[in-house]
Chains A and B, each alone.
Chain A
């Protein structure tokens, strides 16, 4: 693998930028998923979670990315959501 190590020592070069951009665009291509679709998912998630806790809607981030599956290391799409919680709602009200 000498060849690859030799070529891979560059970070922050244009090829890394190309690779990152490509990976991201392919996640969307492969899942056939638009930003509109993601917005719909986001709105529904806010609705569901708001029943249980108060969340910071402006700080909510949702994106599609790739992850390795545990058992065989295959690359699979993953939905990553970062949802800042302001405070938990009173549980007695939920039950």
Chain B
């Protein structure tokens, strides 16, 4: 029996889809069988981020409506063994499915897959309710901006209200140079405010843009820092304890500082 993890944020554009694609690919690299579900009906994007846009025949709404079987709608990623995508419908909206249908769908997926990742749409309405309906765990993605942290706080409250307790936090697009100058909130600031456990820090890295352009998840790029960050997150999801990346070396200015992320 697999596990369903929803990746959510409240605010749009903080990197939910990229995170879902990378964690999913990373988990298959560790030998797990993974299905990633794009729950953003009407604004389908996971397919292009994963580079599978040309392979879509059926989508999630077709499955729910009984137009096709679940297996027929799942797209197998030929590059990564054990990775599957269930695409969102592009011409429908969030009301095309309901939380009960979503729960049934994820329960079915759990029987075949080790991990089922749900890429949640932005917002707190129907799309969000659908996305969290069948989830066992939640990961909240935020960036070091007031708006994103505020929305993350709201989402954490809603997750707890939905009895999805103990969500984990990914802080995306952190810029070491700005944090050092005191012009960007640091990791501790955000953990302090949101009061949830951290599961990953992803630096603002141009390799992500390049990878997304190509439709290849950055988690597979060996010399990418963001790739390393996602590889670490993936291992933490499977229960491993992985130390945080030394962000100082990345910056290149001060390499002498020994331990940067030394908190437990």
Contact = CB atoms under 8 A, between A and B. Distances in A.
Contacts, number: 67
Contacts of A10: 181-182
A78 B186 CA distance: 26
Interface stretch (A19-27, A38-46, A54-62, A80-88): A19-27
Interface in A10-39: 10-11, 13-16, 18-19, 21-23, 25-26, 29-30
Given A7-B179, A13-B181, A15-B184, A22 B193 contact: yes
Contacts of A15: 179, 182-186, 189
Interface in B205-264: 257-263
A14 B193 contact: no
Contacts of A18: 145-146, 185
B182 A3 contact: no
Secondary structure at the A interface, as helix, strand, loop or mixed, is helix
B157 interface: yes
Interface residues of A, number: 24
23 contacts: A1-B262, A2-B258, A3-B260, A3-B262, A3-B263, A6-B180, A6-B257, A7-B180, A7-B188, A11-B182, A13-B182, A13-B183, A14-B182, A15-B179, A15-B185, A15-B189, A16-B182, A18-B145, A19-B189, A22-B146, A22-B149, A26-B193, A75-B195
A1 B264 CA distance: 9
B150 interface: yes
A4 B188 CA distance: 7
Contacts of B181: 10, 13
B188 A8 contact: yes
Contacts of A11: 182
A17 to B, nearest CB: 9
